[in-house]
Structure 1
């Protein structure tokens, strides 16, 4: 087996001039993987190269794959993902993966940006203040999730209501309201992270509903899972597919 012309072309678009050490030391695996991930899989998705890189970066954060993240971040910049978009993907991971998992990726992102001659810090993207974060958070959570947080605020026991407040002011008010990525892009990335980390199926179903509500239809999510498969594996891909089919069954 040899790496197909299409797979080589798609790989070179991300990593022009790159000589793979693994291709020399593990040629059989790399031939299989590259033909699958950079040719066969891409025949079944409509995501363009920039979108593919954005979702892969989110998946790699969720799975704690910092070395592959650094490689893919360089590829992302090569195909037009902006430094701000790259940073926002990492920032958006904080409320879903937690800072403990994201910490190393902040440093990795800074290293990649500085290696590319990009001065830090980047231009700020915050659009809320301490006074407005709760109100604006509620506005955007209603756009993405309907009345979900409002219902929690009404129905949760008093000693648990602060979790609903945190969803409004921190998860959405601090993070979702930032510029740099659209609400559709952020919901897609959250779906990716929840699918990739595993064990968050209840939350993933909620964000599948959110994705559909903001305009990312089922086919968009299927295209996203298709891109993820070679990187996150079959079990998590098929679990996410099961959740997607539960929330949005195929029309008969």
Structure 2
């Protein structure tokens, strides 16, 4: 059986819920819940809402649809809003790609309908086709500095469109949306990148971006900590090393 603390934390997310696995695999559930919902949480300072937000982002990146749908219910139970959940899904598109995110759009809508939540949710876009490029470029400068400007200035003609896409699509279409603030979007992006693997340069770029918008190294380590039970040790330890590469601890 999970210990009392693990059970309490689990019940906060899933009140009055009896897990099927608790009946079929009680030893496993005891080990997992004691670790994920007690021991791990002793080493993280994230509030429960942020913890669920980064978990949803991570599960999208890893294509864990069934667990994602369960965690959408948990997120709603602890007070994450339907708008915030939809924005997490939308934020995943420029990083995981629509091919991976499409099922999660439908899965989110399925859970919302089951809960009686009306879709579509309130619109959050702040740009138009005419303004998305300029607003996106202004936003990317706020978050990551002049990297896209340098790409626009130096990229070969047959590659310059990638820098344009970063400005008008990645940042202009997504980061300019309301519903979730820019700092949270950066934390979600970090959670997705460390969860999907194979994107080490981008992880390092978004460690720096998180730091630039005010997210501390400790918060990034807290995010890695709460995701460990879901993403496993190889990606966890890789993420810790990448954070340390960009933000080394000060000596003395």
Partner in structure 1 of residue 138 of structure 2: 139
TM, length-normalised to structure 1 = 0.99
Shift, 1:3, TM fit: 1.1
* Cα shift readout 1:52-73 (whole Å, capped 9, x = no counterpart): 0000000000000000000000
The answer on 1:200 being equivalent to 2:205 is no
Partner in structure 1 of residue 189 of structure 2: 190
The answer on 1:39 being equivalent to 2:38 is yes
Give the distance between the partners of 1:26 and 1:116, measured in 2 at CA. Answer: 28
Give the distance between the partners of 1:114 and 1:21, measured in 2 at CA. Answer: 23
Matches for 1:121-132 after TM superposition, within 5 Å: 121-132=120-131
Partner in structure 1 of residue 55 of structure 2: 56
RMSD: 0.5
The answer on 1:107 being equivalent to 2:80 is no
Give the distance between the partners of 1:125 and 1:237, measured in 2 at CA. Answer: 33
Moved over 2 A (4+): none
Partner in structure 2 of residue 222 of structure 1: 221
Partner in structure 2 of residue 68 of structure 1: 67
| Secondary structure at 1:127 match in 2 | coil
Partner in structure 1 of residue 27 of structure 2: 28
* Cα shift readout 1:194-227 (whole Å, capped 9, x = no counterpart): 0000000001100000000001110010011000
Give the distance between the partners of 2:71 and 2:217, measured in 1 at CA. Answer: 26
Shift, 1:145, TM fit: 0.4
Give structure 1 stretches of 5+ with no counterpart. none
Matches for 1:74-93 after TM superposition, within 5 Å: 74-93=73-92
Shift, 1:193, TM fit: 0.3
| Secondary structure at 1:17 match in 2 | coil
* Cα shift readout 1:44-98 (whole Å, capped 9, x = no counterpart): 0010110000000000000000000000000000000000000000000000000
The answer on 1:241 being equivalent to 2:203 is no
Give structure 2 stretches of 5+ with no counterpart. none
Give the distance between the partners of 2:248 and 2:29, measured in 1 at CA. Answer: 36
How many residue pairs were aligned? 251
Give the distance between the partners of 2:77 and 2:13, measured in 1 at CA. Answer: 6
Shift, 1:138, TM fit: 0.5
Give the distance between the partners of 1:106 and 1:189, measured in 2 at CA. Answer: 17
Give the distance between the partners of 2:221 and 2:122, measured in 1 at CA. Answer: 34
Partner in structure 2 of residue 171 of structure 1: 170
The answer on 1:118 being equivalent to 2:114 is no
